Amino acid sequence: MHLTLRQLRAFGAVARHLSFTRAAEELNLSQPAVSMQVKQLEGQVGQSLFEQMGKKIYLTEAGREVYHYAKEIIGEIGNMEAALASLQGIEHGTLSISVATTAHYFAPKLLSIFYKRFPGVDIRLDVTNRETLLSQLSENVVDMVIMGQPPRGIEVEYGEFMENPLVVIAPPDHQFSKERSIPVNRLSDETFIVREKGSGTRSAMERFFKQHKMELKTGMEVSSDEAIKQSVQAGLGLSIMSRDATQMEIQLGRLCIPDVLHFPIIRHWYVVHRKGKRLSPVATAFRDFLLNEAAAILKK
């Protein structure tokens, strides 16, 4: 067999997402290009690697076998790249980082400062949801991720680098905007717009309401912070989200942060990578940059 790394990476992305569309988005390729790589790999293997049932695709038995070895091969290639990068030093190399969707409100600023210090570095940034972050960590396909809560069930190393306060947001004409020291139990009377299941913010909301023995009445479920803010502005409900994501709307008077007792909910941002992963000098430098400087930079 004459397999290529490109074929294995395309196949691995499709196998991880069970979607050609999402694999193409991750790899920054067209869907036909990804399909072609997978078909070429199937031609080399001599067996089908996926089967379609309805609108969904699944790995065949051969696909599961190839996926097992593809992960090992791609992982070893990553280790080789890190080893070679260490010979070049910190002035060159690639940093592959994924961040939770809410973190994209501050991550570009940090990356910009880091890039100015090391202009020879090639930075690859992916902004995605928690489910994909967990998958990327599990498959060891990125150097590190920035997320609101380190995962369970995956062996990782992580460091906390700054606070991530969660606040209640409401339209500026909501009755809460004129009140102070609002009892938390009044939130039971409100409808909340929430992120998708599995989202770190949604999990924090659910834990908070359970802790205070309140029912969380949910209305719309949306997949992005921008959609939540637009929905709250339109008067479709309240929400709870990272204060970092609301700065512009608060300044423009499009949203308000009511003075509700027991808020903000203090969470933290973490930089996370697989346990035992061999980080390149560039990745090590960026991790140290986050842990030592990020909080002070973003307070300015």
User: Using 50, 70 and 90 to split pLDDT, how confident is the model at 157?
Assistant: very high
Predicted TM-score (pTM) above 0.85: no
- Is residue 43 one of the residues assigned to a domain? yes
- The per-residue pLDDT for range 80-135, each reduced to its tens digit, is 776 676 666 666 678 899 999 889 889 999 999 999 988 888 899 998 888 889 88
218 in any annotated domain:
yes
Last residue of a domain, one of 88, 114, 145: 88
Q: How many domains does the chain have?
A: 2
CATH code of the domain covering residue 172 = 3.40.190.290
Is the pLDDT at 42 greater than 80, yes or no? yes
Q: What is the pLDDT of residues 248-261, one digit of tens each?
A: 999 999 999 999 99
Which one of 36, 53, 88 terminates a domain? 88
Is residue 5 one of the residues assigned to a domain? yes
Query: Is residue 277 in a domain?
Result: no
Task: Supply the pLDDT for residue 242.
Answer: 92
Best CA proximity match to 169, nearest among 255, 253, 244: 255
> For 72-81, what is each residue's pLDDT tens digit?
888 788 777 7
| Closest by CA position to 166, among listed 246, 223, 98, 235 | 246
**Distance separating alpha carbons of residues 56 and 14, to the nearest angstrom:** 12
- 17 within a domain of the structure (yes/no): yes
My answer on whether omega of the bond before 264 falls inside 30° of 0, hence cis, is yes
Specify the pLDDT at position 88: 61
Query: For the ranges 86-95, 164-173, 279-288, which has the lowest average pLDDT?
Result: 86-95
Q: Are residues 264 and 175 in the same domain?
A: yes
Query: Mind listing the pLDDT tens digit for each residue in 182-217?
Result: 999 999 999 999 998 878 888 899 999 999 999 999
What's the CA gap between 239 and 170, in Å, rounded? 7
Query: Is 15 part of any domain?
Result: yes
Domain end marker among 59, 88, 117: 88
Residue 78 structural domain: 1-88
The domain that contains 25 carries what CATH number? Answer: 1.10.10.10
Q: What pLDDT is recorded for position 74?
A: 83
pLDDT of residue 90: 63
Whether residues 169 and 264 fall in one domain: yes
